[in-house]
Amino acid sequence: MTVTTFETKTYQNFINNEWTASSSDETIESINPATKEVVGLVQKSTEEDLNKAVQAAHEAKKAWRRIGQAARGQFLFKAANILEENLDHIAETMTREMGKTLPEAKGETARGIAILRYYAGEGMRKEGDVIPSSDKDALMFTKRTPLGVVGVITPWNFPVAIPIWKFAPALVYGNTIVWKPATEGAVTAAKVAECFVEAGLPEGVFNFITGSGSVIGQGLIDHPLLNAITFTGSENVGQNVAKSAAARGIKFQLEMGGKNPVIVTKDANIDQAVEAVISGGFRSSGQKCTASSRVIVEEAVYDEFKEKLVEAAEKITVGNGLQEGIWMGPCASESQFNTVTESIEKGQQEGATLIHGGEVLTGGEYDNGFFVTPAIFENVTTDMAIAQEEIFGPVVALIKAADLEEAIDMANDTKYGLSASIFTSNISSLLEFVDEIEVGLVRINAESAGVELQAPFGGMKASSSGSREQGEAAKEFFTAIKTVFIKGS
């Protein structure tokens, strides 16, 4: 083990500038999926707690808007520095709470800090444009204005980066927030919240509340004082968010699941493709919305690719992500573990052939965690559940295609449209792919997972509500535009 001292604490909500316990007097345990130990306890909040949080954000919104964008940016710079001082501790907490390896957790935390600094810098960037008026004596311009109270609902798989890429832009553009993190990542989230609290944001601007999705999440999206909602998570819950927001005419943003394809063409660099599928398919135990889950390989190179992929998968070490030399951690929770093992069984029942892994690891330390070895299937057809449903686990399905055209049709044969890769050295193939593929993130000779904070992020079809996060795109969601026309009197 790299680290030895870790305190199991009870974390509170942060509402209206105060750490407070829930009125329920109840807490929820967060469990380490590698050891089944309790990582910490969080509040099992009630509607009463939620009302206080939304009310606080509502009351704070006028003063926060008036303080100005430049001043708001300064708070984010401060939070970034505090987060940086706590990077190792936050990363270790993340590994303990949701299982990803420590290097990955550190990478994610560093990304969160970079995102914060990017949006802190927005404090000094433009708030609108001057547009020529047809009246030569008039001044016409746009001015960005905040939406008001923004609800932020986040998943457990990136418990630091996703929340920050939502509430950093929300805050710098002048919104106040109520953040409800996923219960399975709530201790890590509480530590991120502590950094924001230490940055000294004014009263009511930043509110943090934990509790069950069906009570606090649902209560938040239905709350009459909410002005907008940003959500990342599963498709089912996302559709619910959309319905509620549309019914009340508030702005909403959804990023949801994926069934991301990788195409390997006959002129691909096979070693490069293998490395990318290993990384995209199995890092974070496949629990990334952009994970590679379907690999569509042209017949001509199928056998070579398959052999090399299995050889590479055999080298993957599975275990507690805190230990050195471990490349892949456990599934993040018992329920994830059940989904993964059931999907593997279902794949076999459907007639696909499991050619590598997919075993539950037992014996010694493995008995205390939710460990599955990376699974590779072949003889998969596009109608099978393992080719259609998001598994969110370390499972890769190999599909054979006759040629590029068939491969692209197969890649698009899913309700999802988040990310997709192609491996090819043929410029016509890659151009065709860029045009034909129905996803928001198009990757050429690179793994399907992987985003840059300064570029728009988001999906098409059932993966997204169509808006984009990160980079300059965040401004489109978190602000409204006022068009101002001024004439002298």
Which residues in this chain contact ligand NAP in the complex, by CB under 6 A? 153-158, 162, 180-184, 212-214, 217-218, 221, 232-234, 237, 240, 255-258, 289, 390, 392, 418, 459, 463
Residue of 255, 298, 378, 390 marked catalytic: 255
Q: Residue 89 CB, nearest distance to ligand NAP (Å)?
A: 22
| Residue closer to ligand NAP (CB basis): 199 or 344 | 344
| Pairwise CA distance, residues 422 & 262, whole Å | 6
Binding partner of residue 218 among ligand NAP, Mg ion, none, CB cut-off 5 to 8 Å per kind = ligand NAP
Q: Residue 135 CB, nearest distance to ligand NAP (Å)?
A: 44
Do the Cβ atoms of 252 and 416 come closer than 8 Å? no
Do the Cβ atoms of 372 and 360 come closer than 8 Å? yes
Cβ-closest residue to Mg ion? 184
Do the Cβ atoms of 396 and 448 come closer than 8 Å? no
**Catalytic residue list contains 289:** yes
Q: What is the DSSP string of 37-78?
A: -EEEEEE---HHHHHHHHHHHHHHHHHHHHT-HHHHHHHHHH
Binding partner of residue 396 among Mg ion, ligand NAP, none, CB cut-off 5 to 8 Å per kind = none
| Residue closer to Mg ion (CB basis): 157 or 279 | 157
Binding partner of residue 154 among ligand NAP, Mg ion, none, CB cut-off 5 to 8 Å per kind = ligand NAP
- Provide the pairing of β-strand 27-31 with 251-255: unpaired
Q: Residue 59 CB, nearest distance to ligand NAP (Å)?
A: 23
Both tokens assigned to 318: 């599975």
| Residue closer to Mg ion (CB basis): 37 or 198 | 37
- The mark string for 2-31 relative to Mg ion (x by CB under 5 A, - otherwise) is -----------------------------x
Q: Residue 237 CB, nearest distance to ligand NAP (Å)?
A: 4
Residue of 104, 289, 298, 447 marked catalytic: 289
Burial of 211 (0-12, 13-18, 19+ CB in 10 A): buried
- The mark string for 133-172 relative to Mg ion (x by CB under 5 A, - otherwise) is ----------------------------------------
| Residue closer to ligand NAP (CB basis): 305 or 457 | 457
| Pairwise CA distance, residues 394 & 380, whole Å | 16
Q: Residue 187 CB, nearest distance to ligand NAP (Å)?
A: 12
Both tokens assigned to 78: 């401060």
The β-bridge partners of 296 are 263, 399
Do the Cβ atoms of 251 and 147 come closer than 8 Å? yes
Block residue for tokens 């099992």? 44
Binding partner of residue 31 among Mg ion, ligand NAP, none, CB cut-off 5 to 8 Å per kind = Mg ion
Indicate whether 184 belongs to the interface with Mg ion (CB under 5 A). Answer: yes
Q: Which amino acid is at 195?
A: C
**Catalytic residue list contains 331:** no
Do the Cβ atoms of 411 and 421 come closer than 8 Å? no
Q: How many residues bind Mg ion (CB under 5 A)?
A: 3
Cβ-based neighbours of 19, under 8 Å, separated by 6 or more:
12, 13, 197
Indicate whether 190 belongs to the interface with Mg ion (CB under 5 A). Answer: no
| Pairwise CA distance, residues 270 & 293, whole Å | 18
Query: Catalytic residues, which ones?
Result: 255, 289
Contact footprint for Mg ion (CB under 5 A): 31, 184, 333
